[in-house]
């Protein structure tokens, strides 16, 4: 059938046809068409989307990418044929019916996802089916390899290449800002790609953005890493494992994160940057993704197994996820805290200990330190100033201000100190509540917004002393956060009214 | 946040915002916004869809319905706020996690579907989760009630109101064209809504369209039924159980039809038109939805149970689904065959017997006939010409040509007779193959396209005698169908090469 092109300014591939033409072609929403340029013979697939209102019969509305791919403009004529659905539809149906997907079937699904041969609806069906029916380790391995092969990859001449990842859920977890410079200062290569916060108050990418640009192509990541030994960039602009972004997008409304998909997501990104040794930080706690030590160990085994199948050496660190790491939550506050530790501060203890522990494992895995000597080496790279020097180098190579000092990074101008209503010991910090308040204060978008925990668990407070301070960049945001803080009591002092958890407890996202 | 409106000519609700504004609002694809007209205070929900290319920051692209609902034009300013996701998201997640949905939760999901508060992705997740985890009868009942309550309903002053439905899969099943006039001729009220073929060669709506208009509002259906006692219309234009259309739309690519959703779909449509007595035709065969007698009986029990919960009397007829009903497949051919029976023809036997059997059950249920006397009564309404007279009345009330005769309805001008390659008995007719060939010939869009089965199972043929004839409205369509017919052998004569079934056997859709 010949149809007249009407270009529609919508990003992406595909388009819309009129109901009458759909009936003439014998197709329904979700069927496949092939759109062919009659002169060049170039063609593109299209998922049928039917309208009765915005087009007249005889016209096809085509979106930007399809128009560009085929070199079409308004008023051109195209040939439109029915096409068979991609076989990935059948493989998704197989997964719905509790089948096991072969490596080839998984590859077909992931390739069709990335090439926009599957609609978001169809990807949703795949993700939902995988979530409900689960994936075995063979499928997780296939998914990981498929994610890697459908995206860009980085190779390095210098070895070993190491990497770290935290599966997230703990507020204030700025350790990457310490681990990457420590590791790079030891002479190892660490091309760290990070994510922005989705439901958190600041992902590593949001933090690093305070100090330097973070949007780079895979090629630039490679070049900068070769120069400085390490980088901390946003993974979203690299086109590494792009299928993962699609999966996360359809998972997002339901706050699901299927175990197999999470493992594949993490491991694909490590494999694509050529990492040979990887430490996975698995925080355990009531608000993190993993709630018990037993679950953490089981997850760790799967990470190690998938790593081994891909030729990567993986170790997992199960960490304490009940309270924030350090005292600062929110981009500027966290960056200032991390910088101050690099500059020689001896607190906060939880941040320093977690950073040297994770760094130590990597140093031992890579043979830079003796067994049990990694943590000591990390500590000395930190106290000698070598890590700070390296961090300045990394900031410089990414285009930031390399002589930055922790005192330059200021929190928002609007602040409110929350006084303790009673005298007593701090008995709990509620991650979910702290993150909710920090987000209402404007984090992670407003870099100065966040929370500083003046007291942590075990601190003795007198009535009226500050438990924590909320920072914001506007009075409006501060007021909003304060209101929620009064409702949530994210920090509990012994003898206080019990903590109140909102009915719809939010879930926390991948931190890195 | 204040944004400038850019109206986009896309049907439906919602719109697109720029990535920068999304980050400022702290939202991601799939999050919820509320768009507020600053002067009228009117507001509409919107699912976040983020772009970086087609908009500038500070602008929101809004689709037609949202613009109309709020009275917005290009260049207007709107207030945009973050909003909490609808609670139906949580209930869908519950179904993903194998939970049982309460009546209230199901109602919330269905209402949000119909009001476009759920995206098609989210509806896909619900349908996929229900398909994999199944629904119990309480959930099926809730879904049925929710489908009814979110759509239009019809009430009649005259009682009883009766109805029939076939769950489909058998080609040539034109019995509704006989059952409705027979039942209406007996003085019962039968407001029949039907569907078009999705994967079949002709749904009841496609057939009726040959004789009269079929697109009517619920109000018009009510009025016409009051006049003629019965109608045969397309359900798609009535807004009865509109949630069902959305479910079918997302099921379509995967060719799934979850048992509970199918029962709810059928029963909601019957309940919404006020049917008090319903016969469900369940064809059993290798290419229908139900493959064994045991499955048919189980399905029948569920239909009866749901009917009883809704106060409807339901009986099920398990019918033979191995071969076409009658000899004609495709709109004009089927209509001519049905009309000829109404006009007094004594064949085809399978069509007459099935029609009077189903009609008889309804006549007995409604008390018009004695137990075991229904079939006899139906037969006499048919042979007396009362059913034909009633059918002419129905055609007239729907705006068709009431003095139509079967000889007026002609098949396509292009035809090809398929000769038997051997002498022998016809041993099988393959439904899937026949439908594929009829569709390639142009059915159901080309009304004249289809197949006439000159021989049926048991017919003795000499070599060279015609097995079946293909009709089409163009040589191109005929050639295409012939080519496939040579590959598929949809009718097997003893001694012939064995039937060849395509690897991707198609599945058949609801016939009514």
**Residue B501 has what pLDDT?**
44
Instruction: Supply B338's token pair.
Output: 């049905």
- Give the SS3 label for residue B236: helix
Closest CA to B167 of B254, B274, B287: B287
Longest alpha-carbon distance in chain B: 82
Q: Which residue on chain A is closest to B252 by alpha carbon?
A: A30
Which band of pLDDT confidence, cut at 50, 70 and 90, is reported for residue A509?
A: very low
pLDDT in tens, A450-467: 999 999 888 899 999 999
Tally A–B CB contacts below 8 A.
124
Residue A169 has pLDDT above 60, yes or no: yes
Q: What confidence score (pLDDT) does residue B287 get? A: 82
By Cβ distance, the residue of A31, A125, A256 closest to B124 is A125
The phi-psi region of residue A353 (left if phi > 0; otherwise alpha if psi is between -120 and 50; otherwise beta) is alpha
Chain A nearest C-alpha distance from B271 (Å): 27
CB-CB under 8 Å, A122 with B253: yes
CA distances, B162 to each of B190, B231, B367 (Å)? 5, 12, 12
- Non-local CB neighbours of A27 within 8 Å, separated by 6+ positions: A33, A48, A82
pLDDT of residue A108: 98
Test B250 with A121 for CB contact under 8 angstroms. Answer: yes
> Greatest CA span in chain A, whole angstroms?
82
| Annotated binding-site residue? A198 | yes
pLDDT, residue B505, reads 46
Beta carbons within 8 Å of A408's beta carbon, 6+ residues apart: none
Q: Is A199 annotated as a binding residue?
A: yes
Question: Is A54 in contact with B9 (Cβ distance < 8 A)?
Answer: yes
Residue of B nearest to A29 (CA): B249
β strands within A131-225, DSSP E: 162-166, 190-194
* First CA to last CA distance, chain A: 49
Ranges under pLDDT 50 in chain B: 498-502, 505-511
Q: Rg of chain B's alpha carbons, rounded to an integer?
A: 25
Which residue has better confidence, A23 or B465? Answer: B465
pLDDT attached to residue A287: 82
**What is the ipTM for the molecules in this complex?**
0.87
Instruction: Characterise A474 by phi-psi region: left (phi > 0), alpha (psi -120 to 50), beta (else).
Output: beta
| Alpha helices (H) along B4-118 | 19-25, 64-70, 87-96, 103-114
Is A252's CB within 8 Å of B26's CB? no
Q: Is the pLDDT of residue A298 over 50?
A: yes
CA distances from B334 to A462, B426, B435, B448 (A): 89, 22, 13, 10
Residues contributing to the annotated binding site of B: 169, 195-200, 204, 265, 289
Distance CA B400, CA B385 (A): 19
Question: What is the nearest CA distance from A345 to chain B, expressed in angstroms?
Answer: 33
pLDDT of A236 over the 70 cut: yes
- Using the predicted structure, report yes or no on whether residue A507 has a pLDDT greater than 80: no
| A279 phi and psi angles, rounded to 5 deg | -110, 130
Query: Domains (ranges, CATH) in chain A?
Result: 2-83 (2.40.40.20), 87-134 (1.20.970.10), 162-236+270-406 (3.40.1030.10), 414-493 (3.90.1170.30)
* Spatial separation of the C-alpha atoms in residues B37 and B19, rounded to whole Å: 22
**How far A91 CA lies from chain B's nearest CA (Å)?**
10
In the annotated binding site of B for AMP, the residues are: 169, 195-200, 204, 265, 289
Please name the helix (run of DSSP H) or strand (run of DSSP E) that holds residue A45, with its range, or none: strand A43-47
Q: Which chain B residues touch A53 with a CB distance below 8 Å?
A: 11, 64
């Amino acid at each position: 059938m010949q149809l007249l092109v009407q270009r529609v300014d919508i990003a992406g591939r595909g388009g819309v046809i009129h109901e009458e033409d759909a009936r003439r072609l014998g197709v329904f929403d979700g069927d496949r068409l092939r759109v062919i340029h009659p002169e060049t013979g170039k063609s593109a697939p299209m998922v049928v989307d039917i309208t009765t209102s915005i087009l007249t019969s005889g016209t096809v509305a085509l979106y930007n990418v399809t128009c560009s791919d085929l070199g079409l403009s308004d008023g051109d004529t195209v040939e439109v044929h029915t096409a068979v659905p991609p076989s990935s539809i059948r493989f998704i149906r197989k997964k719905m019916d509790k089948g096991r997907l072969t490596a080839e079937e998984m590859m077909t699904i992931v390739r069709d996802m990335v090439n926009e041969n599957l609609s978001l609806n169809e990807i949703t069906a795949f993700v939902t089916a995988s979530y409900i029916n689960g994936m075995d380790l063979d499928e997780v391995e296939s998914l990981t390899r498929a994610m890697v092969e459908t995206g860009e990859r980085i190779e390095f001449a210098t070895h070993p290449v190491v990497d770290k990842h935290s599966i997230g859920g703990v507020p204030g977890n700025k350790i990457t800002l310490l681990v990457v410079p420590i590791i790079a200062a030891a002479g190892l290569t660490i091309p760290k790609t990070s994510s922005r916060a989705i439901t958190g108050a600041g992902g590593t990418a949001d933090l690093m953005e305070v100090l330097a640009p973070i949007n780079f192509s895979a090629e630039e990541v490679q070049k900068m890493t070769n120069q400085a030994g390490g980088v901390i960039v946003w993974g979203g602009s690299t086109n590494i494992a792009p299928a993962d972004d699609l999966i996360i997008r359809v998972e997002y409304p339901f706050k699901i994160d299927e175990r197999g998909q999470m493992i594949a997501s993490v491991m694909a990104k490590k494999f694509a940057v050529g990492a040979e040794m990887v430490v996975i930080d698995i925080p355990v706690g009531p608000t993190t993704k993993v709630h018990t030590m037993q679950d953490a160990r089981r997850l760790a085994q799967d990470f190690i197994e998938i790593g081994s199948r891909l030729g990567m050496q993986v170790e997992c660190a199960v960490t304490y996820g009940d309270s924030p790491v350090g005292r600062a939550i929110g981009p500027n506050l966290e960056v200032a805290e991390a910088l101050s530790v690099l500059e020689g501060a001896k607190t906060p203890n939880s941040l320093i200990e977690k950073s040297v522990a994770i760094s130590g494992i990597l140093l031992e895995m890579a043979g830079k330190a003796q067994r049990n000597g990694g943590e000591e080496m990390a500590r000395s790279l930190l106290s000698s100033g070598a890590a700070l020097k390296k961090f300045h180098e990394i900031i410089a190579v990414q285009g930031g201000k390399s002589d930055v000092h922790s005192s330059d990074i200021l929190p928002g101008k609007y602040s409110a100190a929350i006084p303790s209503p009673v005298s007593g010991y701090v008995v709990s910090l509620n991650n979910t509540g702290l993150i909710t308040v920090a987000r209402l204060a404007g984090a992670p978008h407003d870099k100065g917004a966040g929370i500083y925990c003046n007291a942590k668990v075990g601190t003795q407070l007198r009535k009226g002393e500050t438990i924590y301070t909320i920072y914001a960049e506007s009075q409006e945001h501060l007021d909003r956060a304060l209101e929620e803080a009064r409702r949530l009591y994210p920090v509990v002092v012994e003898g206080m009214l019990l903590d109140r958890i909102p009915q719809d407890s939010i879930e926390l996202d991948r931190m890195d």
